[in-house]
Structure 1
Amino acid sequence: MISLSPAAPRIAKLTALSVGVAFLATACGGTSTPSSTETTTAPPGAISCPAGSGAGASTSAPAAPSGTVPPSTTTTDTPLKLGSLLPTTGNLAYLGPPEIAGVNLGVQEVNEAGGVLGKPVEVIHRDSGDTKTDIATQSTTALLGQGVSAIIGAASSSVSKTVINQITGAGVLHFSPANTSPDFTTWDDKGLYWRTAPSDVLQGKVLGNYMVSCGAQTLGMMVLNDAYGTGLQKNVKEAFEAAGGKVVAEQLYNTGDSQFSSQVDAIVAAKPDAIALITFDEAKSIIPLFTGKGIKATQLFMVDGNLFDYSKDLAPGTLKGAQGTQPGTFAKEDFKKELLALDPALVSYNYAGESYDAVNLISLAAEAAESTNGADIAAKLKEVSEGGEKCNNYASCVTLLRDGKDIDYDGQSGPITFSDAGDPTEAYIGIYEYDDTNKPQPVKEEFGQL
């Protein structure tokens, strides 16, 4: 692979401006930073990054202790009942299966370890739909009517915004495995909104800096006009420009749109080195428009909203060399096998780890609070995420709790330490590259703190 780093000062600027993001030694572009005498210049469309440069640092926590989990010394008259508000219809329906499988695996393991406060956990699944429908409100009403203590979802930040006040206003814990909008950090949620997905501030910082490290000097952006899209757009743009790049085109579209030619033409006309596609599954229609205009796959950078398998949607090789970012660590093989045992039809694992971790954290916080009340659980979530003995699943963690010890849960999505606002303060962002079958393959992980 040819290294396309424009000049040493650009790399120095990137390093200085990516405070809190620990880039791996194998920076995009390959080997060492060019010397001051080197003048390698990246022509438009020729972005090159190393394929298969290796995964990032391991985030494995200690294994669960052997032996029987000690019984709870506290019982509850009200068993922990969880609701899930995850998409089975709408433009994020492809995210529903791995998230639902993650929830189900978490509940299964909690119950195999004896449940919460001596009672098995129950989960009720409901569809969140998307913002074109009122499904989320109807599902939330149904879940609240069934007495859930916590609702896990939605996947979409925009959908969560339509129900967060309804959920938290009822005194129920609202816990999303996939919301990334920075708006939730300051939401008046009575301390009841939490998430295992990091804010777009982190993904935006990583992606913006990464594209510069790949040699991009100019950027075009295709953006879904909703809380997720415009929030991530803002943070990618800030990082890209702070690292010395220039955004030359920004085009928006709305949920439900099916025609994207005018936006694509405007971006192509600006001749950007790189194009960030901040979309949901509309990417299936948008990508062929770009490649049909001569845009190379290596110029395309995806995000978590569209980083999935296109092997059945696009001609082989269409996306070979395209890259993208996804919050969370790479799914481990044993975790994948456990998810597939519950849902053999799974084709992706996006946010499965975050969903699994949500169940474990809620269950452990309920144990720590000795209560299944939503507000009581929320009050203990930060405590079980930091400062104690490391553990990585319900059985090992609840064993420590019942032995009177403090715990620090780190899960399948990586290290988790909550802020007072309910946000993860540290996370991994995975970098992926598409192979010639249009499937994303893990390349490396970037660790960041907020």
Structure 2
Amino acid sequence: MSVFGKSRPARSRGKVWTGVALTATSALLLSACASGEPESTEEAQGPREDLALTIGTALPQTGNLAFLGPPEEAGVAFAAQQVNDYAETSGLSLEVVFGDSGDTDNKAYETEIPRLLGENVSAIIGAASSGTSLQFIDQVVGAGVIQFSPANTSDAFTTYDDNGLYFRTAPSDVLQGEVLGNLIAEDGNQTLGLIVLNDSYGTGLAKYVTEAFEAAGGEVVAAPTYNTGDTTFDSQISEVLAADPDAIALITFEEVKTILPSLFGQFPADKLYFVDGNLSNFGDQFPAGSLTGAKGTLPGLSIDSISDFTGELDAFLAETGGEPLSEYSYAAESFDATVLLSLAALAANSTDSAAIAEKLIEVSGGSGDGTKCTSFAECADIILAGDVADYDGVSGPITFDEVGDPTEASIGIYQFGEDNTYAAYEG
């Protein structure tokens, strides 16, 4: 099942969000320097002359979201190949410098971000974790470089003072929290316990889950937190179980692998709820049937609905010697981020970060006067003809508002089977 949310562009940096998440529908109402000199592009037509764009990635090769790194990096690499396959026609080539964001415990970003900035990148794609992105956003945008995350969902970024240089293809957790809170209530649960990562992602998502669940008549009876880097969770588990909730929502990252064994046998699996930070195909990491019936939410179109893309991504990795993927979370959002940056550079006829940022809203459809297109090549042809392209991506229409948030988004609902892997929820 996929829950689709739409929103209207705001008129200021602040946003007001309202909405009611139902089983299948949710609505959101919400009240842009690297190398090169910016050039006037109003009259620019035809192929660009040797427009060489360089972007970096700060995605989790290590840390508590490392399971998201492979699909995200694969999405970037696949998009880069498509951009470069069309370079002879468009005149735009793309180089990607891959880097590790790590997390707020190992702090890989402290050395990786300066390294990436030293490569004169026009943009950095990452991090996946909102809390990690907040550790280096000032450094990136302060250098006049775009930061573009495929997976940041904290609402903190909506009003962040980012000099117009921060964008994301994932929706704010206002929507995911609304969908998950209502799902838990619709499943007949009257009380809820949460175990929450104490960072901007975890506490923000917990807030919106709580608000939705309580608005539906439920009560949150326990919500202990833990910090990145913690390795034992006995006190949090004991606190939640002592409250005897009908359901437990795990708002965590990979720490869930340590938490779950202590819940098995003490709490029914079909009353456990996961989120995007920990929804994973666990397979034989746990005994068969350990998670049967558990549910979770993940921003983006249903994995089933983008099977053509994931199949092409698998073929790309096989052809290029990449490791096969076991997860596809945020691969589409990473692919779209790369395509959008490339199209914006093409539209700006520049690799200057500020010039690209000025065009990102336009090429996403945010200006409202573009021609729909669904691939880099198709959109590039529109731009090269002197017209405005409106890219609808693999992850959805995207359509940035004036603060770089997508105004249209989907939340997929999934359920675990006997093999401890998840599939689209059919309920």
TM-score interval (norm. to shorter): 0.7 to 0.9
Q: Deviations over 1:43-81 (max 9, x none)?
A: xxxxxxxxxxxxxxxxxxxxxxxxxxxx97253565100
Indicate conservation of the 8 Å contact 2:50/2:93, yes or no.
no
Matching residue of 2:418? 436
Residue 339 (structure 1) aligned with residue 319 (structure 2): no
Matching residue of 1:401? 383
2:88 and 2:66 map into 1 onto residues whose CA distance is: 30
SS of residue in 1 equivalent to 2:404: coil
- Answer with 409-418 or 355-364: which moved more: 409-418
Indicate conservation of the 8 Å contact 1:149/1:172, yes or no.
yes
Matching residue of 1:322? 294
- Answer with 189-198 or 408-417: which moved more: 408-417
Aligned-pair identity in percent equals 53
Residue 122 (structure 1) aligned with residue 95 (structure 2): yes
Residue 367 (structure 1) aligned with residue 346 (structure 2): yes
Structure number with bigger Rg: 1
Deviating runs (4+, > 4 A) in structure 1?
Answer: 20-23
Superposition deviation, residue 251 in structure 1: 0.9
Q: Deviations over 1:313-334 (max 9, x none)?
A: 1110000000000000123222
Superposition deviation, residue 255 in structure 1: 1.0
- 1:251 aligns with one of 224, 237, 242: 224
SS of residue in 2 equivalent to 1:120: strand
Indicate conservation of the 8 Å contact 1:116/1:363, yes or no.
no
1:439 and 1:86 map into 2 onto residues whose CA distance is: 24
Residue 377 (structure 1) aligned with residue 356 (structure 2): yes
Matching residue of 1:289? 262
Superposition deviation, residue 119 in structure 1: 3.4
Matching residue of 1:139? 112
- Answer with 95-104 or 376-385: which moved more: 376-385
Indicate conservation of the 8 Å contact 1:79/1:116, yes or no.
no
1:115 and 1:245 map into 2 onto residues whose CA distance is: 59
Indicate conservation of the 8 Å contact 2:179/2:411, yes or no.
yes
Residue 87 (structure 1) aligned with residue 60 (structure 2): yes
Matching residue of 2:281? 309
SS of residue in 2 equivalent to 1:180: coil
For residues 29-48 of structure 1, the aligned pairs below 5 Å read none
Indicate conservation of the 8 Å contact 1:18/1:205, yes or no.
no
1:228 and 1:94 map into 2 onto residues whose CA distance is: 17
Unaligned runs of 5+ in 1: 1-16, 28-70, 446-450
Residue 392 (structure 1) aligned with residue 374 (structure 2): yes
1:405 and 1:255 map into 2 onto residues whose CA distance is: 47
Superposition deviation, residue 370 in structure 1: 1.3
Indicate conservation of the 8 Å contact 1:357/1:411, yes or no.
yes
Superposition deviation, residue 406 in structure 1: 2.3
Match for 1:114: what amino acid? A
- Answer with 261-270 or 79-88: which moved more: 261-270
Superposition deviation, residue 162 in structure 1: 1.0
2:229 and 2:89 map into 1 onto residues whose CA distance is: 42
For residues 405-420 of structure 1, the aligned pairs below 5 Å read 405-420=387-402
Match for 1:208: what amino acid? G
Superposition deviation, residue 408 in structure 1: 1.9
Matching residue of 2:128? 155
Superposition deviation, residue 263 in structure 1: 1.0
Q: Deviations over 1:311-365 (max 9, x none)?
A: 1311100000000000001232221122223134210000000000000111111
2:259 and 2:408 map into 1 onto residues whose CA distance is: 32
- Answer with 256-265 or 358-367: which moved more: 256-265
Change (3 A) 1:236 1:116: farther
Superposition deviation, residue 374 in structure 1: 0.7
- Answer with 214-223 or 284-293: which moved more: 284-293
Indicate conservation of the 8 Å contact 1:72/1:117, yes or no.
no
Superposition deviation, residue 407 in structure 1: 2.3
Superposition deviation, residue 84 in structure 1: 0.6
2:340 and 2:91 map into 1 onto residues whose CA distance is: 17
2:216 and 2:171 map into 1 onto residues whose CA distance is: 22
- Answer with 109-118 or 399-408: which moved more: 109-118
Match for 1:372: what amino acid? T
Superposition deviation, residue 226 in structure 1: 1.1
Give the count of matched residue pairs: 384
SS of residue in 2 equivalent to 1:191: coil
Q: Deviations over 1:238-268 (max 9, x none)?
A: 1111121111111111111111122111111
Superposition deviation, residue 137 in structure 1: 2.2
Match for 1:363: what amino acid? S
Matching residue of 1:357? 336
Match for 2:261: what amino acid? P
Indicate conservation of the 8 Å contact 1:92/1:281, yes or no.
yes
1:216 and 1:291 map into 2 onto residues whose CA distance is: 19
1:21 and 1:391 map into 2 onto residues whose CA distance is: 30
Indicate conservation of the 8 Å contact 2:51/2:93, yes or no.
no
